[in-house]
A and B are shown apart, each in its own frame.
Chain A
């Protein structure tokens, strides 16, 4: 087992990702094959322990219930953002003796929460790990058909996972009579087409059915009525990639990593104003400062940290003073934000938090599916208000207006949590950076880097240069 930390600067490059030598000698498993030549191919995967978990389960006399129990005991929590217990979710699938309807696994590879690019590393560099995780999940839930819903923009991810499925099929690992047993499972690839809302599990199901990605009200929950109204489980790529390791190494091993309530390792992406942005595998509960300083080489250009987002753009902006918080679900919640997708976004002392929120609010406005008026209207208002404060045309009342709008949008006021995703960072900026909002209003302009911000806000007019 490798204990060297792995870093990927640019997951698409086929060249080997650079290894960094840092004092950070920690156990890694998710990225243990990343960096090997041809890590995406079956021979390399098998030579490094691949499909051992599947073989163990299928030929070792495991029952589906036992597999679910191991995953439950491991404490593995979903890596798609909500952090729900994976084993528990699997156990919600009805007993096929009582409910013989077809059932499905939908793999959530829509990865589009701003700041997040971790599932892509797994799909591009270790696609068989995902395939094996899918097969184990399907065995445990007695599912015979899985769909991998990959965001349309992830061309290489799609290619690599599709190739891995084809290789696995040719080797008797996907399809009928897997490894000569009665276990049968098909895996189909499915391309999305650029809508963030299709990462929300019920939006994903609508989209997979060939419709607009309009989330469905819950209940009914997917385990009862999901894809084509049949029992369905939706799991994130990284969640499933953990499963083979949980099976071969056991629940106790898994719990030896991370914290008691958030066990295991997690992929943390760190982007923005740092020296070495990248995706790193670290135990849950690692201090955010360690990620920033030891993995990412600190804030870039020798500057100081001003603010940071711990888990993707829907999680609240925290002040630099909170940088010693542990990166696990409970600690970050106590600090006033969320672990989300583990996508840290760092802002240096020259960055404007209002400008950052303007960009984030613009995104949620663009991605709201429009079904719920609170979300459709609320995200548009939030964007407009942040934009006018940034332009220097805000009013002091706007700050209360931001809070009251966000209160009108969430929690649990809409069909899905996209409204919450916009409301939560809004509350956070009002709470943590109120002074900066007020200063914009008082000065009638952005107090930071005025010229640059003004240039960014004006409409872009091309200066000739016809080819």
Chain B
């Protein structure tokens, strides 16, 4: 595909990224922050079209942008549920019942770890340490930390997410 045929970013994001690249001596430095914004604004995951639009904006090849995006666990390259629930399974959380939290999360959502629930409402993922170790165990719902959890809290925490 020639650069002119590539999908373009929405104008508001273009304006935002044009400002963002000014913080750095080289344009590409704004790529990861920009991918975050794309994921937030454009449907919760990075579609091939979004990656191509970013490539166009940053003057990179789509494969380079894919290579960066796929390196970072916070970027989703496949469709996700309307809500993403992550459960930390690392050591401090594991010592205080993380696997029980994960099991309960799977029960409540009807999704397996790494999967999406049948109704498309939830994606469930295992997470590495989130820096909430002194408030373990914890889960992350759409980016918000829920800490010091008991198994019984999970249904309540997830219940608000429609």
Q: Are B143 and A351 in contact (CB under 8 A)?
A: no
Q: Are A460 and B29 in contact (CB under 8 A)?
A: no
Cβ-defined partner of A210 (8 Å) among B28, B36, B74, B117? B28
* Bound-state Cα–Cα, A277 to B24, Å: 40
Q: Show the binding face of B for A, using Cβ within 8 Å.
A: 23-26, 28-33, 35-36, 58, 67-68, 71-75, 89-92, 94-96, 99, 102-103, 106-113, 117-119, 121-122, 128-136, 140, 143-145, 147-148
Q: Are B33 and A191 in contact (CB under 8 A)?
A: yes
Within 8 A of B (CB), among A84-112: 102, 111-112
Q: Decide yes or no whether A252 CB sits under 8 A from chain B.
A: no
Closest B residue to A121 by CB, please name it: B134
Q: Are A273 and B95 in contact (CB under 8 A)?
A: yes
Q: Decide yes or no whether A29 CB sits under 8 A from chain B.
A: no
Within 8 A of B (CB), among A340-363: 343, 345, 347, 351, 355-356, 359-360, 363
Q: Are A228 and B26 in contact (CB under 8 A)?
A: yes
Q: Report chain B residues within 8 Å CB of A207.
A: 32
Q: Report chain B residues within 8 Å CB of A213.
A: 71-72
Q: Are B133 and A271 in contact (CB under 8 A)?
A: yes
Q: Are B23 and A210 in contact (CB under 8 A)?
A: no
Q: Are A356 and B140 in contact (CB under 8 A)?
A: no
Q: Are A115 and B72 in contact (CB under 8 A)?
A: no
Q: Report chain A residues within 8 Å CB of B67.
A: 212
Cβ-defined partner of A465 (8 Å) among B68, B91, B110? B110
Q: Among the interface residues A116, A186, A463, A465, which one has the most CB atoms of the partner chain B within 10 A?
A: A465
Q: Report chain B residues within 8 Å CB of A152.
A: 36, 72, 74
Q: Are B110 and A116 in contact (CB under 8 A)?
A: no
Q: Decide yes or no whether A117 CB sits under 8 A from chain B.
A: yes
* Bound-state Cα–Cα, A355 to B99, Å: 13
Interchain Cβ contacts under 8 Å between A and B, 22 examples? A10-B134, A10-B147, A12-B147, A112-B129, A114-B133, A152-B72, A152-B74, A153-B143, A186-B23, A190-B29, A192-B72, A207-B32, A209-B28, A210-B26, A272-B96, A278-B134, A343-B133, A356-B94, A363-B91, A461-B106, A462-B110, A466-B118
Cβ-defined partner of A9 (8 Å) among B99, B106, B128, B148? B148
Known: A9-B148, A212-B68, A345-B91. A269 touches B119 (CB 8 A): no
| New A-B contacts (11) at CB < 8 Å, excluding given A269-B134, A345-B133, A462-B112 | A115-B92, A153-B74, A193-B73, A194-B75, A210-B29, A228-B26, A271-B133, A272-B136, A277-B134, A343-B133, A465-B107
Q: Decide yes or no whether A208 CB sits under 8 A from chain B.
A: yes
* Bound-state Cα–Cα, A133 to B100, Å: 41
* Bound-state Cα–Cα, A343 to B131, Å: 11
Q: Among the interface residues A155, A211, A360, A455, which one has the most CB atoms of the partner chain B within 10 A?
A: A211
Q: Are A191 and B131 in contact (CB under 8 A)?
A: no
Within 8 A of B (CB), among A359-395: 359-360, 363, 366-367, 369
Q: How far is the CB of B137 from chain A (nearest CB, A)?
A: 11
Q: Are B117 and A12 in contact (CB under 8 A)?
A: no
Taken residue by residue from 264 to 297, chain A's Cβ proximity to chain B (1 for < 8 Å, 0 otherwise) reads as 0000011111000111000000000000000000
* Bound-state Cα–Cα, A293 to B97, Å: 22
Q: Report chain B residues within 8 Å CB of A466.
A: 110, 117-119
Q: How far is the CB of A36 from chain B (nearest CB, A)?
A: 20
Cβ-defined partner of A153 (8 Å) among B26, B28, B113, B130? B130
Q: Decide yes or no whether A254 CB sits under 8 A from chain B.
A: no
Q: Decide yes or no whether A433 CB sits under 8 A from chain B.
A: no
Known: A277-B134, A456-B99. A195 touches B129 (CB 8 A): no
Q: Are A462 and B111 in contact (CB under 8 A)?
A: yes
* Bound-state Cα–Cα, A120 to B129, Å: 13
Q: Are A114 and B90 in contact (CB under 8 A)?
A: yes
Q: Report chain A residues within 8 Å CB of B119.
A: 466-467
Q: Are A210 and B95 in contact (CB under 8 A)?
A: no
Q: Are B71 and A195 in contact (CB under 8 A)?
A: yes
Q: Report chain B residues within 8 Å CB of A363.
A: 90-91, 128-129
Q: Report chain A residues within 8 Å CB of B32.
A: 190-193, 207, 210
Closest A residue to B22 by CB, please name it: A188
Q: Decide yes or no whether A8 CB sits under 8 A from chain B.
A: yes
